[in-house]
Structure 1
Amino acid sequence: MKILRMLFILIVSLLLIIMQTSNAKNNIFASENIKIANVAVVMNDFQHPQMLFIKQGLTDIQNENRDKVNFIFYDGKGNLAIQTEIINSLISNSNIDLMVIGLINPQSDVVEDIIRKADLRNMPIIMNDVNPETALKLSKGYSKVIFLKGKSEEVGILQGKILVDEWNNKGMDKNKDNILQYVMLKGETNNPVANVREKYSVSTINEAGIKTQQLALRVVNWNKEIAKQAIEALLLKYDGNIEAIIANDDTIAIGAIEALQKYGYNKGNKSKYIDVVGATGLQEVKDLIDKGFMTGTAIINYEAQAEAVYKIAMNLLNNESPIKDTNYTISDGFVVLTVDYFPYTKKNNISS
């Protein structure tokens, strides 16, 4: 009887050891074998100030959590082929625990191919700037992929409200036809963020009772020089009929301002001024606004976005719900981030 009791105790002890070992393997931060998570961050182009803001935010978080995370950054250089080559290499790298990916104008088949390969390796992935249809479809089939989105419509709404305020001050309607003639500078074709900002900036103006006429839409690939060249050509074409320029972000808004100033606009003469709105909150743009050379911008909190990436990544690596201990929500395949946006104009220059 004593032998049977000792054998029973031995079996139970072995089972407990096996269970503890299994739990340690399932948790990257298990107390028995603490491991710093290697998180690869593959961005579309570090020439974009927005990407640099995210990189700096993640770097600051890493410096405060050196015992938990190590971010490794990869620059796609604005080239999808380069990005996919980097991603494929990282998927086969056993030292990488999780990937954060911001693809260049991602197509559904490209996104699915990446996720399928990562899923074979059981690697968690966080992706942003994916169109809603793709996110809804793929989120149902792959448990370790998270699609992020902010409330991009709020950026467009802020841009629209800035222009509504200007219109109501009676200075914009240069030809007195009660129609706001504008040019749209769009970041990318079929980019979800660009699409939403474009839509809501104009709809906000219309909902305020202001009629609009789009004189031109130019896709400028988030590039300042392309934006500058586009506005130079449009100024010659429309010869004083442009009343506003709506830019998807501050980088291309700066390109628009440079083009305008080349032709004598937006240098301080109120009779030769075209309203320009952007989005990001670059210091260069704030300076232009403070000098009266640009109308306004929507400030985006990139520190909060970086914090969201970190929190969700840690949750995934610990096999927790991606939104555990956050105020984020899940909707239509996306984790929706709660990030504040603020208007910056000469009248209400809220510092970022």
Structure 2
Amino acid sequence: MKKAVLTAAAVVLAVLALLAGCGKEQETPTVRIGVALYQQEDTFLSTVVQNLEQLARAEEQARGIKINLNVTDARGSQSAQNEQVDTFLQQGCDVICVNLVDRTAAAVIVDKAQAAGVPVIFFNREPVEEDLERWEKAYYVGTPAEEAGRLQGGIVLDAWKKDPAALDKNGDGILQYVMLEGEPGHQDALLRTEYSVKTLMTAGVTTEKLDNYNADWQRGLATVRMQQWLEEFGERIELVFANNDDMALGAIDACLEAGMTREEMPFIVGVDATPPALKALEEGTLQGTVRNDAAGQAQGILNLTCALLDGQDPVKTVGLEDGHYLWLTYTTVTRENLPDAGT
């Protein structure tokens, strides 16, 4: 009797299940990715996000899934970014990707992610190594900052070797320069600044720093400072090092507003190879930049995310170094190789 009742119940459940499924499409699997940016107005970061969105759409088609990207802007506030990470975790994100406001604050985010069992991928702003090692599912996707400095200095060095007089406009054998730096204490700013100048000095080029200024990666702040430098130093400025393209473009804006021709302008170099910078290269106002691979970073983030969600070993699948790092490479961009540079 008991067996007959169980059999009848099983039949009823099966019929109900079939009826519930009639006329109803199977739900598409959804992957939720939270992306926390330090400053969404940053030109390079906006390019990374655009690439990530395009790649995510292609991955959706290839896998037959839905990828929800939730992008937030901390507006330079680490406390706001921490709250955004909390929200991502409460919303059930499968992976969180963080472009840190303060690279020394990664430990808090790593601990939050570990407690929730959600992998965290830092990108473009490298956390302190000890913080990244707090958990096996904390990762970093980016480029070595000192290499950007070396390549930026190399652009200037190549131009110096080719035609010293074109840079040394006052003919004193010394390359006078100003330096537009990113945030005070920021690792990328410090290393790009150090190695760009060191590359010239190591090659035997005599340099003189007229001044430096932390323009916080911002075009507007760089414009204002460059205007002041032009008033103070005038034609003595032969070279402008900028830690990123936005600040290099700010220096160009100041020069153009001062009525300078391309021939009268200092030799200006940046970092990132953003679309506006490539346009300035084409126009001849920017002399060179270092390509920070926005598409490569986006692809690396997505590849690492997919490997984690598929349960694969990211060290083998993605090629991580030291279990945590996915390093990309910089390349120099000048007018000579501009047609091949892309965006």
Q: TM-score, normalised by structure 1?
A: 0.81
Instruction: Look up the SS of the partner of 1:279 in the other structure.
Output: coil
* Alpha carbons 2:240, 2:267 under 8 Å: kept: yes
Q: Distance in 1 between matches of 2:173 and 2:204?
A: 10
Which one of the candidate residues 253, 256, 266 is aligned to 1:274?
A: 266
1:239 Cα deviation from its structure 2 partner: 2.8
- Measure, in 1, the Cα distance between the counterparts of 2:74 and 2:248: 23
8 Å contact from structure 2 (residues 33, 94) kept in 1: yes
Counterpart position of 1:23:
none
Residue among 72, 75, 95 paired with 1:74: 72
Aligned equivalents of 2:132, 2:80: Cα separation in 1: 25
The answer on whether the counterparts of 2:107 and 2:134 sit within 8 Å (CA) in structure 1 is no
Asked if 2 retains the 8 angstrom alpha-carbon contact of 1:99 and 1:124, the reply is yes
Distance 2:36 2:316 in 1: 24
* 1:291 has 2:283 as partner: yes
Separation of aligned partners in 1, 2:59 and 2:277? 33
Asked if the contact 1:315–1:321 (Cα under 8 Å) also holds between the matched residues in 2, the reply is yes
- Preserved CA contact (<8 Å) 1:126 1:145: yes
CA contact 1:218–1:230 (8 Å) conserved in 2:
yes
Correspondence 1:40 to 2:34: yes
Partner of 1:255: 250
Match of 2:213 in 1: 218
Matches within 5 A, 1:1-352: 35-66=29-60, 67-68=64-65, 69-93=67-91, 95-107=92-104, 110-131=105-126, 134-135=128-129, 137-168=130-161, 169-170=163-164, 171-265=166-260, 267-268=261-262, 270=263, 272-326=264-318, 328-331=319-322, 334-339=324-329, 341-349=330-338, 350-352=340-342
Question: In angstroms, what is the RMSD of aligned CA positions?
Answer: 2.2
Q: Which has the higher helix share?
A: 2
1:284-334 CA deviation, whole Å, 9 max, x = no partner? 3223222322211122321111110011112223343323323x4414x74
Q: Mark the runs of 5 or more structure 2 residues left unpaired by the alignment.
A: 1-26
State the secondary structure of the residue aligned to 1:308. Answer: helix
Deviation of the 1:34 alpha carbon: 8.1
For structure 1, which segment, 314-323 or 57-66, has the greater mean C-alpha deviation from structure 2 after superposition?
A: 314-323
**How many equivalent pairs are there?**
309
In the alignment, the residues of structure 2 paired with residue 111 and residue 140 of structure 1 have an alpha-carbon distance, to the nearest angstrom, of 11
- Residue 212 of structure 2 aligns to a residue in which SS? strand
CA contact (8 A) 1:129 1:191 kept: no
Q: Once the 2 structures are TM-superposed, how far is the Cα of residue 222 of structure 1 from its aligned partner?
A: 1.2
- Structure 1 counterpart of 2:333, one-letter code: Y
CA contact (8 A) 2:142 2:328 kept: no
Change (3 A) 1:329 1:115: closer
Report deviation, 1:45.
1.7
Describe the superposition over 1:196-216 as per-residue Cα deviations: whole angstroms up to 9, x where unpaired: 222221122122221222221
CA contact (8 A) 1:80 1:104 kept: yes
Letter aligned with residue 210 of structure 1: V
1:44 maps to a residue whose letter is: Y
Give the conservation status (yes or no) of the 8 Å contact 2:143–2:292.
Answer: no
Amino acid at match of 1:172: L
SS of 1:330's partner is coil
Cα distance, 1:175 vs structure 2: 2.9
Name the % identity: 25
Kept after mapping to 1: 8 A contact 2:39/2:73: yes
Q: Which residue of 2 aligns with 1:14?
A: none
Contact 1:222 1:252 in 2 (8 A): yes
Deviation track 1:94-139 (CA, whole Å, cap 9, x = no partner) reads x2111000011332xx32112112211111101135556x22x123
User: Residues 236-295 of structure 1, C-alpha deviation per residue, up to 9 Å, x if partnerless?
Assistant: 222321110011111111110011122232x23x2x220100122233322322232221
Relative to structure 1, the CA distance from residue 105 to residue 211 in structure 2 (aligned partners, 3 Å threshold; closer, same or farther) is: farther
Alpha-carbon distance between aligned partners in 2 of 1:117 and 1:247, rounded to the nearest angstrom: 35
Quote the offset at 1:164 in angstroms.
0.9
Instruction: Give the stretch that moved more between structures: 96-105 or 287-296.
Output: 287-296
Partner secondary structure for residue 343 of structure 1 = strand
Q: 1:217 to 1:57 in 2, by over 3 A?
A: same
User: Counterparts of 2:88 and 2:282 in 1: how far apart (Å)?
Assistant: 44
Q: Distance in 2 between matches of 1:279 and 1:273?
A: 19
CA distance in 2, matches of 1:148, 1:291: 32
- Work out whether residues 38 and 96 of structure 1, in 8 Å CA contact, stay in contact via their aligned partners in 2: yes
Q: Where does residue 5 of structure 1 map in the other structure?
A: none
